[in-house]
Structure 1
Amino acid sequence: MYDYVRNKDKDFLMNMRSVCSDLINQLVQLINSEDTLYVEANLVGSGAKHLETQNNNEPIDLDYNLVILDTNGLDINDCREIKEYVRKLFNIVLKNNGWGDCKDSTSALSTERRHFKQGNKTEFSIDLAIITEDRESWYRLIHEKTGFVNNDRYYWNEGPDSKGLTKRVEWIKKNDLWNEVRDAYLNKKNMYLKRGDHNHPSFNVYIEAVNEVYYSNK
């Protein structure tokens, strides 16, 4: 069953988040310094924090969103080029910090697993999704693999019921309902785990949790 990491080991969570967020911040700075893409990044929950979950004692995947704010030199619709560009720069950052190359999965760039030499030895890694907002809807960059690289598809996939998500999050925070989002998020993660449903990434579960809390309180 999933539980929030901070309920188990606050020091470990702080150190893990510090290491991983530092890598992501380095990537953001590197991308923005090249003036090809303009991006920002955040943990899933977009600054609301405390949505890191762990299934029993299994490794922890920290889910980050790399948000494309603007483009200058890359076509926003050229998803293959965007993902390859981000992947190459991410590998530069990882190498500079003693990490191995990331893996290109369907909906994220995933790092190798690491653990601290002292204290909690739980392994952790980073899953970095590339997303963008257009006309109040949120889209996630998907790499649909076919087994033949030249036939792979890259495209923007709209998050289900994501239109107006940013405004709903603002309303929830303003009305001090974020703990309800945390509860809904955890319940949904465990619901899909029990069902053996692996087609609900954190990006979608987060949207579902926000929508559930918003519409039940509005």
Structure 2
Amino acid sequence: MYHYLDDRKFESSMRNLAGEIMQSLCHRLKDEYDIGAGFQLVGSGGRNLILQNADEPVDLDYNLEIRRCEDFRDCRGIKERVRNAFNEALNEYGIGDCQDSTSCLTSPRIQFRKGNRTEFSIDVCITMRNKAGHRLIHEKTGITICDQYYWNIVRNSEELEEKADWIKEHGRWAQLREEYLKIKNGYLRGCGRLTCPGENMLMNRPSFVCYIEAVNNVYNQIRQQIRPQSACSWQQLQSGYRIML
């Protein structure tokens, strides 16, 4: 079963190393490919909601936001340049090459020599500037030359971080933590709900997807409680609350 990671020293060391690697990745993209990019720790990792199943490895999810490049339509070229630069950054720290999956690039498992020996990995999703929820997808066909690359919108991710901030402002962060843990363990047991037709209930359902579900669930629950008192809209509900970016 999942539990919250409670080793703050380990979390700090993990974030610091991952941040250095991501910084190196961005520098290499700029120097070698003239691609302007920035990065952000997102989802559960960015909200101090890192979960661990027993003593299994954990992961950190980063968005690599492409801010400037020659052609945003060249999805294959962007993915390959980022993959090459990420591998170079990883190799700089003595870590092997990344794995290229459908929606992200994943580092090999990393383990510190001293202290907490929990293994962890870095997941990098490529996003487009000013296009919230847009991720670069690599749809594999089994024949490399026939693979498809395109920008895709993550389901139910609209205004995600704004909603999370709004939940926190309402003093319901503990409820979000409980909901996220319940969802992760629900999918682990194979009893999570399907979010679209034909979708499998996988035990290794991505943490970011579970985080989206938890935020939307809690946000909607709060709105249902507020609605009888006021029929205000989402824009009206968030007025008066400072969105922390």
TM over 0.5: yes
Does residue 208 in structure 1 map to residue 213 in structure 2? yes
Q: How many residues align?
A: 213
Larger Rg: 2
Conservation of the 8 A alpha-carbon contact between 1:159 and 1:207: no
Q: Which moved more, 1:176-185 or 1:111-120?
A: 176-185
Does residue 142 in structure 1 map to residue 151 in structure 2? no
Distance in 1, matches of 2:139 and 2:210, equals: 20
Residue in 1 that maps onto 2:10: 12
Q: Which has the higher contact order (CA 8 A, sep 6+)?
A: 1
Aligned pairs (5 A) from 1:67-216: 67-68=65-66, 70-73=67-70, 75-132=71-128, 137-195=132-190, 197-198=202-203, 200-216=205-221
Structure 2 letter corresponding to 1:117 = R
Conservation of the 8 A alpha-carbon contact between 1:5 and 1:53: yes
Decide whether aligned partners of structure 1 residues 166 and 36 sit closer, same or farther in structure 2, where only a CA change above 3 A counts.
farther
Structure 1 segments unaligned to the other structure (5+ residues): none
- Provide the secondary structure at the position in 1 that maps to 2:36: strand
Residue in 2 that maps onto 1:65: 63
Q: Which has the higher strand share?
A: 1
Distance in 2, matches of 1:66 and 1:117, equals: 28
Q: CA deviation at 1:179?
A: 3.2
Structure 1 letter corresponding to 2:156 = D
Q: CA deviation at 1:23?
A: 1.0
Identical aligned residues as a percent: 45
Structure 2 segments unaligned to the other structure (5+ residues): 191-200, 224-245
Decide whether aligned partners of structure 1 residues 168 and 3 sit closer, same or farther in structure 2, where only a CA change above 3 A counts.
same
Conservation of the 8 A alpha-carbon contact between 1:4 and 1:50: no
Among 40, 43, 59, the residue aligned to 2:41:
43
Distance in 2, matches of 1:47 and 1:111, equals: 16
Q: CA deviation at 1:133?
A: 5.9
Decide whether aligned partners of structure 1 residues 5 and 166 sit closer, same or farther in structure 2, where only a CA change above 3 A counts.
closer
Distance in 2, matches of 1:2 and 1:181, equals: 15
- Provide the secondary structure at the position in 2 that maps to 1:40: strand
TM-score by length of structure 2 reads: 0.76
Conservation of the 8 A alpha-carbon contact between 1:44 and 1:51: no
TM-score by length of structure 1 reads: 0.85
